[in-house]
């Protein structure tokens, strides 16, 4: 869409808000309690209309309305709603209306509760559970406008991170991120969300685009069994989930009449603080048993890393024109954060309004089954549920055909909207569209459309950062900041390497850490691996990375120069060109998890030279692109002259008696002699990854993939062509595979990866380098837990057919959170299985169990290996496990 059409679309959208011939006036003021305490994020709505807003943190609201007479409804969780009649004059008028709400007086009425009876709240919750499936899908489709404001603050900073790393000069106390967005959304069951961002603003960055996204909050509905706030690997049980009574206790605080309906306030109390549960209050509407509002907290007992507390509020109300279905009016979330010496907070406010095309699943909701009055000791029990659980189950609504009815209504809604659907141009899978020009609005525009007024702090942040943006983008300012950022400290080279920035030119120069610069192996001896990574980026996300390397082996006396290039050609579509050229020293298995640092430690201290190396001269050119959503293709062509290498040194630090270095030739069960002398190869390769149903965001600065509920399928092949430039290798290798991560609710997350393949045809001519290798591990340390952990590096390498599978399950604390010591340490349990079959290996299996999040970053597993039912060995493995 052109910039002109974008602007025309924006004007049309804005005009659609206003009746013709009427100019809007503004009603604003303060919403407070009876003691004048501001009620942060109170909800303000126009009675009987689709217009609503929310107060800010200071309780201040503003509402822009055309001239006319209105009734405004002021609501706040735990307070009595208040209705105020207002008359908005014509023109750009300003009307101030301050409102004080009274705390709701919840009454238990005449509920009869014997000491042996359960609290009446349980009956109310049970009814809500029985109606949960209906309310989750009572709206088949709708459209709305959503305003989202997100703000992040740094409240405290350490002198140095972990006492080692300096803090950048741009990390200061105060607001570090402030963003607003206004979008139109379309939602259809079961989970199709389309969003077109109308306007976006990022404090201090006129070119910035907000990362606010309406669909990100779809998982925060308490009608789902598990609620996922986004800060944790596991979800948290909803207080009205089918199994919620196993996790919660409930107390009826009282009931109150509100706008003609009876609302029950229920205190939600965790049975065990160790469970993944909320605490706070849920408000349930009597008779329909729907959620009126929630006010919940997750604290440190939730075991969310770097999060001290999360506070969630939601407010629902009848949809405009249809009181039988309710929709969300507003949502607020606050997270208090801490870690590595930092303290901060992150707040998100969302206000939904302008609901339209609300399609109810049923024209009228199912009629609740009537229950005979409950008599206790000759008296009829009052409202609140002296019925037994069995009696309430008999009142369970008949929801047969609900799914079919939802599909029917969605189909009708789509058919009716085909003629005038602003989301029709969005292709399948695109959940958010951000077009050029959405960040070009001025402050006057935002003052006219912003439903939630800015606080004093936010207003100041905009004023200061926007006024100084030109200065902060200037070369003198950025150079001065870079001088601080680029200050060298020795710890940098020990841990992650040293990076030098040129922010104005968007260039970086990086020197690798010492573990990459200084290496040791028996083929080259001491190695000086000088490598510089140069990166250049543009405003539209294109980049080029150039990596020259000079590698010198002091024992082999060989200099090996090489160059790598990665070039992103297109600003928004994936088109990546890569080139590798020169002379490199390679492992026989290029995917080996045996890092140079691990190999050096075992070589120098344990007499074990696991790395088997060869020299490779030549070049490889690759191109990766995404022609269709979810389909990623990569092609590659390469020519290399390969040379066998031998050990040139036997020096070490610690000599283990009776143990000698092994020759620089891999040991394989399938091939007795793995030496090859010299070999030339010309290869053509391809790879295709396909993820059905991939969701994504389209932005002016690129396409961002969000994943899919479906697995990723892979097909790849490599063809060696003989006779060209002296190439003497001929083979065809084909492979297909699948990988997926499957969330299993409270039980954790399972991940699996499986591949099957083999060399095609009988006339093969290849070296051991070209065999299909399987990444093994013979050390205590591991670079990846996704590979084999006890398998000898080259023992089962093959030139035949193979099947390889890896599975692990992360329980995310499902077991350990019930054990006091493990719970306090926030440790999590994991189990794994690795499987391989080849004609030579037979059936090879590894079974593992371990603990992750040790010291927040480490994982330790214990493995047992079996071959065709016979035990091969056991061992521990240590690596990163976040």
Whether the per-residue pLDDT at 230 is higher than 90: the answer is no
Residue for token pair 């999060």: 307
Structure confidence at residue 863 as a pLDDT band (50, 70, 90): very high
* Token output for 299: 């604290």
Mean pLDDT value of segment 471-477: 91
| Whole-angstrom distance, CA of residue 622 vs CA of residue 603 | 34
Cβ neighbours for 759, distance < 8 A, ≥ 6 positions apart: 731, 732, 733, 766, 772, 799, 800, 801
Q: Which of 139-143, 531-535, 599-603, 710-714 has the lowest mean pLDDT?
A: 139-143
State the pLDDT at residue 881.
78
* Segment 537-592, tens digit of pLDDT: 987 778 999 999 999 999 999 999 999 999 999 887 889 999 999 999 999 998 88
| Whole-angstrom distance, CA of residue 863 vs CA of residue 865 | 7
Residue for token pair 């996922």: 228
For residue 610, the 8-state DSSP code is -
CB 225 within 8 A of CB 238: yes
The mean pLDDT value of the chain amounts to: 88
* Segment 866-875, tens digit of pLDDT: 998 899 999 9
* Token output for 368: 């609740």
Q: What percent of the chain has pLDDT over 90?
A: 61
Structure confidence at residue 379 as a pLDDT band (50, 70, 90): very low
Q: Which of 298-307, 471-480, 587-596, 842-851 has the lowest mean pLDDT?
A: 298-307
Mean pLDDT value of segment 428-440: 92
| Whole-angstrom distance, CA of residue 719 vs CA of residue 132 | 56
CA angle 145, 147, 152 (to 5 degrees): 160
Cβ neighbours for 855, distance < 8 A, ≥ 6 positions apart: none
| Whole-angstrom distance, CA of residue 283 vs CA of residue 315 | 10
Whether the per-residue pLDDT at 374 is higher than 60: the answer is no
Whether the per-residue pLDDT at 510 is higher than 70: the answer is yes
CB 222 within 8 A of CB 238: yes
Whether the per-residue pLDDT at 2 is higher than 50: the answer is no
Whether the per-residue pLDDT at 108 is higher than 80: the answer is no
State the pLDDT at residue 235.
86
State the pLDDT at residue 711.
97
State the pLDDT at residue 109.
58
C-alpha distances (whole Å) from 791 to each of 684, 795, 797, 849 are 30, 8, 11, 16
Q: Which of 212-221, 250-259, 577-586, 601-610 has the lowest mean pLDDT?
A: 212-221
Whether the per-residue pLDDT at 13 is higher than 70: the answer is no
State the pLDDT at residue 372.
55
| Whole-angstrom distance, CA of residue 529 vs CA of residue 514 | 9
Q: Report CA torsion sign: 195, 199, 204, 207.
A: positive
State the pLDDT at residue 15.
30
What is the helix (H) or strand (E) element at residue 128, kind and residue range?
helix 120-136
Tell which wins on pLDDT, 420 or 632.
632
Strand-pair partners of 84: 72
DSSP helix, strand, coil percent of the chain (3-state; round to 5): 15, 45, 40
Whether the per-residue pLDDT at 219 is higher than 70: the answer is no
Strand-pair partners of 860: 851, 878
State the pLDDT at residue 163.
72
State the pLDDT at residue 117.
59
Whether the per-residue pLDDT at 114 is higher than 80: the answer is no
Structure confidence at residue 386 as a pLDDT band (50, 70, 90): low
Mean pLDDT value of segment 373-395: 61
Tell which wins on pLDDT, 263 or 414.
263
| Whole-angstrom distance, CA of residue 195 vs CA of residue 187 | 9
* Segment 771-822, tens digit of pLDDT: 999 999 999 999 899 999 999 999 999 999 999 999 999 998 888 888 877 7
| Whole-angstrom distance, CA of residue 432 vs CA of residue 410 | 20
CB 320 within 8 A of CB 305: no
Whether the per-residue pLDDT at 387 is higher than 80: the answer is no
Cα within 13 Å of Cα(647), Cβ side? 18
Strand-pair partners of 213: none
| Whole-angstrom distance, CA of residue 51 vs CA of residue 317 | 12
Mean pLDDT value of segment 324-334: 90
Phi-psi region for residue 480, left (φ > 0), alpha (ψ -120 to 50) or beta?
alpha
* Token output for 644: 């066998």
Mean pLDDT value of segment 105-118: 56
**E strand segments, 233-341:** 236-237, 248-258, 261-270, 279-285, 291-298, 307-319, 322-339
Cβ neighbours for 470, distance < 8 A, ≥ 6 positions apart: none
Which residue, 259, 332, 260, 322, is CA-closest to 49?
322
State the pLDDT at residue 54.
85
Question: Could you tell me the pTM of the whole model?
Answer: 0.87
* Segment 732-746, tens digit of pLDDT: 999 999 999 998 888
Dihedrals phi, psi of 113, to nearest 5 degrees: -125, 115
Residue for token pair 């900073």: 157
Could you write out the DSSP letters of every residue in 714-774? EEEEEEE--SSTT---BEEEEEEEEEEEEE-GGG-EEEEEEEEEEE-SS--B--GGGSB--
For residue 138, the 8-state DSSP code is S
Tell which wins on pLDDT, 108 or 434.
434
Whether the per-residue pLDDT at 397 is higher than 70: the answer is yes
Range with top average pLDDT, 14-23, 180-189, 352-361:
180-189
Whether the per-residue pLDDT at 332 is higher than 80: the answer is yes
| Whole-angstrom distance, CA of residue 510 vs CA of residue 535 | 9
Residue 763 CB-density burial (10 A; 0-12 exposed, 13-18 middle, 19+ buried): exposed
Mean pLDDT value of segment 364-381: 60
Q: How remote is the C-alpha of 830 from its chain's centroid? A: 21
Range with top average pLDDT, 77-91, 179-193, 399-413:
179-193
Q: Which of 264-273, 357-366, 572-581, 681-690 has the lowest mean pLDDT?
A: 357-366
- How many Cβ atoms sit within 10 Å of the Cβ of residue 363? 8
State the pLDDT at residue 260.
80
678-705: b (≥16 Cβ within 10 Å) or e: ebbbbbebebebbbeebbbbbbbbbeeb
Whether the per-residue pLDDT at 381 is higher than 60: the answer is no
Strand-pair partners of 560: 551
């Amino acid at each position: 869409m052109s910039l002109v059409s974008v602007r025309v679309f924006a004007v049309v959208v804005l005009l659609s808000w206003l009746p013709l011939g009427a100019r809007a006036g503004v009603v604003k003021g303060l919403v407070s309690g009876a003691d004048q305490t501001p009620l942060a994020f109170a909800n303000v709505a126009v009675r009987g209309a689709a217009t609503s807003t929310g107060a800010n943190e200071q309780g201040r609201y503003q509402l822009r309305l055309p001239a006319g007479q209105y009734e405004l409804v002021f609501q706040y969780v735990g307070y009595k709603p208040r209705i105020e009649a207002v008359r908005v004059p014509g023109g750009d008028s300003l009307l101030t209306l301050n409102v004080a709400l009274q705390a709701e007086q919840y009454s238990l009425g005449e509920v009869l509760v014997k000491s042996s009876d359960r609290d009446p709240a349980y009956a109310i919750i049970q009814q809500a559970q029985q109606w949960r499936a209906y309310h989750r899908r009572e709206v088949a489709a709708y459209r709305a406008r959503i305003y989202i404001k997100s703000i992040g603050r740094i409240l405290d900073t350490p002198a140095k991170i972990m006492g080692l790393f300096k803090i950048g000069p741009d990390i200061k106390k105060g607001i570090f991120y402030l963003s607003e967005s206004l979008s139109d959304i379309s939602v259809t069951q079961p989970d199709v969300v389309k969003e077109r961002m109308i306007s976006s603003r990022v404090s201090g960055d006129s070119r910035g685009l907000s990362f606010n996204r309406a669909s990100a909050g779809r998982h925060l509905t308490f009608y789902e069994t598990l609620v996922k706030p986004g800060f944790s690997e596991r979800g948290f049980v909803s207080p009205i989930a089918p199994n919620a009574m196993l996790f919660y206790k409930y107390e009826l605080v009282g009931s109150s009449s509100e706008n003609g309906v009876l609302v029950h306030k229920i205190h939600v109390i965790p049975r065990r603080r160790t469970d993944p549960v909320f605490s706070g209050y849920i408000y349930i509407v009597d008779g329909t048993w729907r959620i009126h509002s929630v006010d919940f907290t997750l604290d440190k007992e939730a075991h969310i890393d770097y999060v001290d507390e999360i506070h969630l509020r939601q407010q629902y109300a009848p949809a405009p024109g249809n009181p039988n279905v309710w929709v969300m009016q507003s949502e607020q979330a606050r997270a208090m954060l801490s870690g590595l010496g930092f303290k901060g907070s992150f707040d998100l406010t969302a206000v939904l309004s302008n609901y339209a095309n609300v399609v109810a699943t049923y024209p009228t909701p199912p009629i609740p089954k009537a229950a005979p009055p409950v008599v206790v000791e000759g008296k009829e029990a009052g409202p609140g549920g002296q019925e037994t659980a069995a009696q309430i189950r008999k009142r369970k609504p008949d929801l047969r055909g609900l799914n079919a009815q939802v599909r029917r209504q969605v189909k009708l809604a789509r058919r009716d909207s085909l003629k005038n659907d602003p989301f029709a141009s969005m292709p399948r899978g695109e959940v958010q569209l951000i077009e050029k020009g959405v960040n070009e609005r001025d402050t006057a525009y935002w003052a006219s459309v912003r439903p939630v007024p800015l606080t004093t702090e936010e207003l100041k942040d905009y004023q200061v950062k926007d006024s100084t943006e030109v200065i902060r983008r200037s070369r003198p300012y950025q150079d001065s900041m870079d001088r601080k950022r680029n200050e060298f400290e020795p710890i940098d080279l020990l841990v992650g390497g040293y990076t030098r920035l040129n922010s104005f030119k968007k260039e970086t120069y990086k020197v690798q850490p010492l573990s990459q610069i200084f290496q040791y192996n028996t083929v080259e001896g001491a190695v000086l691996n000088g490598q510089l990574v140069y990166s250049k980026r543009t405003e539209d996300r294109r980049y080029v990375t150039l990596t020259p390397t000079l590698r010198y082996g002091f024992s082999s006396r060989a200099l090996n120069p090489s160059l790598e290039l990665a070039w992103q050609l297109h600003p928004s579509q994936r088109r990546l060109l890569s080139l590798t050229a020169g002379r490199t020293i390679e492992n026989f298995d290029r995917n080996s998890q045996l890092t140079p640092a691990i190999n050096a430690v075992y070589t120098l201290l344990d007499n074990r030279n696991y790395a088997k190396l060869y020299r490779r001269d030549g070049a490889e050119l690759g191109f990766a692109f995404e022609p269709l959503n979810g389909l990623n293709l990569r092609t590659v062509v390469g020519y290399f002259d390969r040379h066998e290498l031998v050990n040139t040194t036997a020096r070490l630090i610690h000599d283990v008696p009776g143990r000698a270095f092994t020759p620089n030739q891999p040991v394989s069960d399938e091939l007795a002699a793995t030496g090859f002398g010299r070999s030339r190869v010309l290869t053509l390769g391809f790879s295709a990854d396909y993820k059905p149903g991939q969701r994504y965001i389209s932005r002016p600065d690129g396409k961002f993939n969000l994943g899919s509920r479906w697995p990723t399928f892979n097909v790849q092949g490599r063809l060696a062509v003989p006779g060209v430039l002296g190439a003497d290798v001929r083979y065809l290798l084909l492979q297909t595979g699948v990988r997926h991560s499957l969330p299993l609710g409270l039980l954790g997350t399972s991940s699996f990866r499986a591949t099957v393949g083999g060399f095609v045809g009988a006339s093969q001519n290849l070296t051991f380098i070209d065999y299909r290798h399987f990444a093994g591990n013979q050390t205590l340390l591991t670079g990846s837990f996704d590979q084999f952990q006890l398998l000898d590096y080259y023992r089962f390498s093959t030139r035949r057919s193979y099947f390889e599978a890896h599975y692990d399950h992360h329980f995310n604390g499902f077991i350990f959170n019930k054990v006091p010591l493990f719970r306090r340490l926030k440790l999590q349990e994991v189990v794994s299985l690795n499987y391989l079959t080849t004609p030579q290996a037979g059936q090879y299996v590894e079974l593992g169990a371990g603990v992750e999040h040790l010291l927040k970053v480490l994982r330790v597993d214990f493995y047992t290996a079996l071959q065709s039912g016979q035990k091969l060995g056991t061992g521990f493995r240590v690596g990163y496990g976040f």
